[in-house]
Structure 1
């Protein structure tokens, strides 16, 4: 019985993890980013770190906005491993959000956790 309960818990955890990953944007890809820019899409580049408490506060806000704005393309950049991307965007800190409309940067913030301000910033791309 204990083994059966353990298996059920593992399956539930895997399903939960997969649903969280699906809502977390997509990993940054330079070619996909250029294509989204060429298509004049609204783009959010989310510089995040797993250990960052501010990033953890931003995540549910960004996820909610992703649901509300399906045309928003969200790229997640790992602050600890994607140093080339950080250099490209001139980012020095995790919890940085960069908004583009096509190839034009329209807004940027670091450590912002106010949902209304994040929404207003992203609205500039629409």
Structure 2
């Protein structure tokens, strides 16, 4: 009985945690990648900042506060901030030739204008992204 309860509690916590992460993804100003919405935003000429992340990636965790700082500074109706899960969105990774997690892209409409891989230096990462915004 105790094992069943423990198993139930662990599964419940995992499900609840996943739901919380999904809600935070859209509530904090970052959009979860959706192919249709992404293509539509590109066609409208929006500037799109893309964070290719993995939950298990320490470099991604180091980049997160820098990217969030930039998002708060530069959020506008013409700028979109999108998170792409490295483990789940293999088609996006192939299409854009993404070699690894912790890659940051900036698109001006359909044109990729910035690519940064594994950069955690605040000044360099901010400089690359701000140069495109």
Q: If the length of structure 2 is used for normalisation, what is the TM-score? A: 0.75
The match for 1:112 is: 119
Instruction: Give CA deviations for 1:72-125 in whole Å, capped at 9, x if unaligned.
Output: 311111111111111111111000001111111111011001122222222233
Q: 2:99 aligns with which of 66, 75, 92?
A: 92
Kindly report the root-mean-square deviation, in angstroms, between the aligned alpha carbons of the 2 structures.
2.2
Q: 2:55 aligns with which of 42, 50, 55?
A: 50
Instruction: Check conservation: 1:24, 1:59, Cα contact below 8 A.
Output: no
Alignment of 1:27-46 (within 5 A): 27-46=32-51
- Ranges in structure 1 where 5+ consecutive residues have no aligned partner: 1-13
Alignment partners' CA distance in 1, 2:72 and 2:116: 21
Instruction: Check conservation: 1:99, 1:121, Cα contact below 8 A.
Output: no
- Ranges in structure 2 where 5+ consecutive residues have no aligned partner: 1-16
The match for 1:63 is: 68
Moved over 4 A (4+): 17-20
Aligned length: 113
Q: If the length of structure 1 is used for normalisation, what is the TM-score? A: 0.79
